[in-house]
Amino acid sequence: MHIHNIHNGNRTRSDGVIPLMPNPSNRFTGRTEIIAKLKRHFSNVNDSAQKRKFFLLHGMGGIGKTQICLQFIEEMSEYFSSVFWMDASSVGTITQGLKGICNLPAAKSSGLDGSPESTLHWIGLLKENYVMVFDNADILSPAELEAYFPPGRGGNILITSRNSAMRNLTSPENSLEVTEMEENDAIELLLKASCLDPFSMEFQTEASKIVKELFCLPLALDQAGAYIASGATTIGNYLAKYFEHRKTLLSHSEFTGASKYNRTVYETWELSYKEIQQGAKSDDSHKVNAANSAMILLELFPFFHHAGITEEIFSYAALQKDEKISDPELPLASCMLDQRLLPLNKAGTWDNLLFREGIRVLLVLSLIKKAPLDGVYTMHPLVHAWGRDRMTSDMRERCCLMAYVTLSCSLRWNGSQPYKFQRVLVTHVRANMEYSRSESNQNIIGYLDDAYDKFGELLQKQGYAKEAEILQIKVLDARSEIFGEDHLDTIRAMASLASTNQDLGKYIEAEKLEMQVLDARNRSLGVEHQDTINAMANLAQTYACLGKYTEAEKLEIQVLDARNRILGVEHPDTVEAMGNLAVTYFRLGKYTEAESLEIKVLNARNRILGVEDPDTIIAMANLAVTYQQLGKYTEAEKLEIQVLNARNRILGVEHPSTINATGNLASTYRALGKLIESEKLEMQVLDARNRVLGVEHPNTINAMANLAATYRNLGKYTEAEKLEIQVLNARNRILGLEHPDTINAMANLALTYGKLGKYTEAEKLLIQVLNASNKILGVEHPDTINAMANLAATYHSLGKYIEAEKLEMQVLDLSNIILGVEHPDTIYAMETLTYHQLGKYTEAEKLEIQVLDVRNRILGVGHPDTMRTMANLAGTYYEHGKYTEADKLSIQILGAEPPDMITTVANVQEAQEILLIDVGSTVPGEENLHLTQVVLNHPAQEVLPDTTMNHQKRGTYFGNCCLNPL
């Protein structure tokens, strides 16, 4: 016997009407796993027949709980003898349903008196396998609902509710949270509801876009489909209408879809809000306080990001110290903080009881969810949008400002908060600012000095320099106007903007501001003041970004001396100064000095800050870059993988520092001959920098240069040439002709010209490069030595062997002195000496044996560079008439079959230059392998060390300035 219950919204019915269960929607899609779990639970033959089975489906409104139950009951129609479907949205609807059951013939014959109690007693006596469904038990407490369970141990109880607390009536394994649909099922549902061909690829593509925007919420999809099916729009135009009229479309009464309660998406959640309002009118003061707290949270949460709303924000805001700037003319967020949820207890700490009560109410109604971490909550994106859409324009403005002020007051001036908190906070700040801008495309939040200042700092530290700059310019303008340019708060604002200009690659602007800051601090604070020393350090870093390495070195030595003297060796600022000086040593080609300092920095930061601290990771990254330049590629690779993993985990994939780490690892892969891996990473880096930093940013241009270098090594010379011309033009325009990065771009393009056989063009560029390097960097700088080596290689290609030999001798002498005997550049220099071209086979043989020995030891037998050296030595043996030695090496080369030989050399033609097989015999009875030497041009590599900026605010300000040398 099937006893059904039809819902008619709020329409009243006579007590004599037998309730009927609605039929499931003919558009029902998916949810197979949930229905299968329900079937397993209720049909489990191992359970005693006399033991009542319970199950709870809970989740937010509109998620499809009712439809799942209807489909389950239909599929189990042969299993249950009777179905009692109860609208459990209130005590009244349950009572009305029970009274209606009294009119059933079987109930009448049992002599029921028409009361709900007699109905429950009768159901409890049934011997059949009945199921009683309590649908939409959202408002009742578990105890209130349990009062309507039939007595006895028989039958089955199935409950749907937004209130996860209903789990008290079941057991954890007998309850299930219903979440969003699978994407494919959601697409199918939308197309069914739209009355469109579900097999059409065109419709599926459009449906996929809508499904993503509606976050796979069944009621929203069903409602969207009903709207499309009505002819009001096409599936292709739905999203355009949705973006413009979201509130209307999600609350349109004519398109309620398959809802059995005739409620739209927004009406479903509005009922929950009305329930909270009823609680606020209760005679119970505890209920009133909890409801009021919940309503305040529903005013704030929609103006944070929908995910990761952390209790820490409110804890920090409650404990904020009102640090007012001296002049009352500047408006402050801290003066506007809403204290209703932020009371302090007698101990002076935040009393979170009221906050937690509001949270409990929202959790009960499934308007928010708990995250896995304690004290962290999320809102479904559509509930989040409903929270804003339900407000009037004036209320949105007020609530957006209230959320903005709360976020501002949760952020400390002194940088004392955990990095993870600031990483979470910046997401909410950016979301709030976006909601503010979206209101008529204008900011609905006016200038608040402390909020603009702190948010500018936060955005810059977290890698959002463009957004930081907008705020910091406004801070500087406001303070300059009110305080004047010499006021300390104005100078702080100037220093912060300068730091952001560095991050944006605006080095000229940064230099100008930092010179003003240093001059002002010298005058007002004195030479030995920490703020003055910080200003000196910041100017030094900008000098480095501008290629003024000597000026940078001079200032950084002063900074390190002063911090050692005033703060001590172990102070974080002293360690930081050491790290910055190390980067400048790196820029000046003083790699050994850089390595020595960087090892000290890394050890100190590990000890003082811990392994996971961003500054420790910066130290690790810088040491890895120096290892690269010293030819310690294995050590570099190991550190760079650690750095990349840590930054991915802590900062996220899109953070500029993570992108830098990816680029540095790619450079090491290139140096190790792992060109395919290098190319893959460098393409990711270029794409990310284009997207995050913009096409003209120096780091984006560096990424282009790196990819071009790998293209060159892979033999993709045309692709390399195209990129390198773009790089050179951009650097000429942005940095100027004499900047070291521009000179490196010229050198790289020259190398590619050489690979393309354009030796005259290469020679012309390389002469310019060598002259500029001598002038700017000095004769002994590694980049100057590289320029000399590359010009020598081009002379060799042009047949100018005398000029080539002269330069190559200088390169070898300088490399031995400056870099050391075992440095890769020294080995290259040794290898490229052209004695054999002049018939000096004995000298060539001696050098090549040395090179082979070093490469075998450092790189291993199978490394491409080792194979090349072996091939060169075999060629020299052949030219010298030592055929046996030549053949022995040749057999080793062919037998080794390095897997990346062709990839490294890039194409068959160049591979044949390394290993030419001549089947003609010059020694009777023997087949000889003739090998020719390949001249190796060592390309400059771009690596990205990190330096730290110190802008003194209320405490020491830390940020990153990423330098981009070749």
pLDDT digits 0-9 by tens, 401-432: 999 999 999 998 777 788 789 889 999 999 99
Residues in the chain: 966
Residue 339's pLDDT band (boundaries 50, 70, 90)?
Answer: very high
pLDDT at site 379: 93
Domain range 610-693, CATH architecture = Alpha Horseshoe (1.25)
Identical topology for domains 610-693 and 799-896: yes
Q: What is the Cα–Cα distance from 101 to 107, expressed in whole angstroms?
A: 7
H or E segment to which residue 161 belongs: strand 156-161
The packing angle between helices 591-608 and 614-629, to 10°, is: 160
Instruction: List Cβ<8 Å contacts ≥24 apart for 883-891.
Output: 883/922, 883/923, 883/926, 883/928, 886/928, 886/929, 886/930, 886/931, 887/926, 887/928, 887/929, 889/931, 890/915, 890/929, 890/931, 891/929
Measuring CA to CA, which residue among 672, 607, 587, 686 is closest to residue 638? 672
Phi, psi (rounded to 5 degrees) for 632: -90, 70
Q: What is the Cα–Cα distance from 405 to 332, expressed in whole angstroms?
A: 9
Q: Looking at the predicted structure, is the pLDDT value of residue 820 above 70?
A: no
pLDDT at site 959: 27
Average confidence (pLDDT) over 813-833: 66
Q: Are 99 and 116 in contact (CB under 8 A)?
A: yes
Residues in contact with 786: Cβ distance below 8 Å, sequence separation at least 6, in sequence order: 747, 825, 938, 940
Number of Cβ within a 10 Å radius of residue 213: 16
Q: Are 325 and 264 in contact (CB under 8 A)?
A: no
pLDDT in tens, 901-946: 333 333 333 333 333 322 222 222 222 222 222 222 333 334 445 5
Using a 10 angstrom Cβ sphere, with 0-12 exposed, 13-18 middle and 19 or more buried, the burial of residue 508 is: middle
For residues 602-617, one letter each, b for 16 or more C-beta atoms within 10 angstroms of the residue's C-beta and e for the rest, the string is bebbeeebeeebbbbb
Q: Looking at the predicted structure, is the pLDDT value of residue 264 above 90?
A: no
pLDDT in tens, 634-658: 899 999 999 999 988 888 888 888 8
Q: What is the Cα–Cα distance from 258 to 275, expressed in whole angstroms?
A: 24
Per-residue 3-state assignment (H helix, E strand, C coil) for 185-227: HHHHHHHHHCCCCCCCHHHHHHHHHHHHHCCCCHHHHHHHHHH
pLDDT at site 724: 93
Q: Looking at the predicted structure, is the pLDDT value of residue 735 above 80?
A: no
Highest-confidence range of 15-19, 592-596, 827-831, by mean pLDDT?
592-596
Q: What is the Cα–Cα distance from 304 to 148, expressed in whole angstroms?
A: 41
Q: Are 96 and 86 in contact (CB under 8 A)?
A: no
The label of the residue with tokens 């104005």 reads 490
Report which residue type is found at 448. Answer: L
Q: What is the Cα–Cα distance from 317 to 278, expressed in whole angstroms?
A: 29
Average confidence (pLDDT) over 854-880: 76
Measuring CA to CA, which residue among 815, 764, 820 is closest to residue 789? 815
pLDDT at site 830: 63
Among 91-100, 276-285, 909-918, 921-930, the range scoring the smallest mean pLDDT is 921-930
Query: Could you report how far apart the first and last alpha carbons of the chain are, in Å?
Result: 82
pLDDT in tens, 563-576: 999 999 989 899 99
pLDDT at site 129: 87
Number of Cβ within a 10 Å radius of residue 691: 12
pLDDT at site 149: 93
| Assigned fold of 799-896 | 1.25.40
Residue 19's pLDDT band (boundaries 50, 70, 90)?
Answer: low
Among 180-194, 759-773, 814-828, the range scoring the smallest mean pLDDT is 814-828
Measuring CA to CA, which residue among 157, 150, 135, 169 is closest to residue 61? 135
The label of the residue with tokens 């940064």 reads 510
Q: Between these two residues, 127 and 183, which has the higher pLDDT value?
A: 183
* DSSP code per residue over 761-785: HHHHHHHHHHHHHHHHT-TTSHHHH
Q: Are 588 and 549 in contact (CB under 8 A)?
A: yes
Q: Looking at the predicted structure, is the pLDDT value of residue 14 above 50?
A: no
Number of Cβ within a 10 Å radius of residue 376: 16
Residues in contact with 348: Cβ distance below 8 Å, sequence separation at least 6, in sequence order: none
- Six token digits for residue 817: 């002195």
Residue 552's pLDDT band (boundaries 50, 70, 90)?
Answer: very high
For residues 714-723, one letter each, b for 16 or more C-beta atoms within 10 angstroms of the residue's C-beta and e for the rest, the string is bbbbebbbeb
Q: What is the Cα–Cα distance from 432 to 161, expressed in whole angstroms?
A: 32
Residue 611's pLDDT band (boundaries 50, 70, 90)?
Answer: confident
pLDDT at site 796: 79
pLDDT in tens, 373-398: 889 999 999 999 999 999 998 999 99
> Across the strands, what pairs with 376?
310
Residues in contact with 802: Cβ distance below 8 Å, sequence separation at least 6, in sequence order: none
Residues in contact with 341: Cβ distance below 8 Å, sequence separation at least 6, in sequence order: 293, 296, 297, 314, 354, 355, 358
In 186-342, where do the E strands start and end?
Answer: 309-310
Residues in contact with 687: Cβ distance below 8 Å, sequence separation at least 6, in sequence order: none
Phi, psi (rounded to 5 degrees) for 951: -105, 115
Note the CATH number of domain 32-178: 3.40.50.300
**Helix extents (H) in 672-757:** 675-692, 698-713, 717-734, 740-755
Cα 661 to chain centroid, rounded: 14
Among 121-125, 722-726, 791-795, 950-954, the range scoring the smallest mean pLDDT is 950-954
Measuring CA to CA, which residue among 625, 581, 626 is closest to residue 819? 626
Measuring CA to CA, which residue among 746, 786, 777, 781 is closest to residue 762? 746
Q: What is the Cα–Cα distance from 296 to 437, expressed in whole angstroms?
A: 22
- Six token digits for residue 482: 């009110």
**Helix extents (H) in 588-674:** 591-608, 614-629, 633-650, 656-671
Q: What is the CA radius of gyration of the chain?
A: 37
pLDDT in tens, 954-965: 222 222 233 222
**Four-point Cα dihedral 483, 484, 485, 490, nearest 10:** 10
**Per-domain boundaries in the chain:** 32-178, 183-281, 610-693, 799-896
* Residue 897 DSSP one-character state: -
Q: Between these two residues, 98 and 476, which has the higher pLDDT value?
A: 476
Residues in contact with 494: Cβ distance below 8 Å, sequence separation at least 6, in sequence order: 476, 513, 516, 517
Q: What is the Cα–Cα distance from 966 to 962, expressed in whole angstroms?
A: 13
Highest-confidence range of 238-242, 671-675, 774-778, 924-928, by mean pLDDT?
238-242
Q: What is the Cα–Cα distance from 635 to 624, expressed in whole angstroms?
A: 7
Q: Looking at the predicted structure, is the pLDDT value of residue 469 above 50?
A: yes
Residues in contact with 624: Cβ distance below 8 Å, sequence separation at least 6, in sequence order: 635, 636, 639, 640, 643, 664, 668
pLDDT in tens, 481-535: 998 888 989 999 999 999 999 888 788 899 999 999 999 999 999 999 999 999 9
Residue 267's pLDDT band (boundaries 50, 70, 90)?
Answer: confident
Q: Between these two residues, 897 and 769, which has the higher pLDDT value?
A: 769
Measuring CA to CA, which residue among 350, 348, 469 is closest to residue 406? 350
* Residue 413 DSSP one-character state: T
Provide the edge-to-edge strand list for the sheet that holds 131-135: 83-87, 131-135, 156-161, 53-58, 175-177
Cα 223 to chain centroid, rounded: 33
For residues 242-277, one letter each, b for 16 or more C-beta atoms within 10 angstroms of the residue's C-beta and e for the rest, the string is beeebeebbbbeebbbbbbbebbbbbbbbbbbebbe
pLDDT in tens, 195-242: 999 899 999 999 999 999 998 898 889 889 888 888 888 999 999 998
Report which residue type is found at 130. Answer: Y
Q: What is the Cα–Cα distance from 457 to 454, expressed in whole angstroms?
A: 5
- Six token digits for residue 43: 């049909």
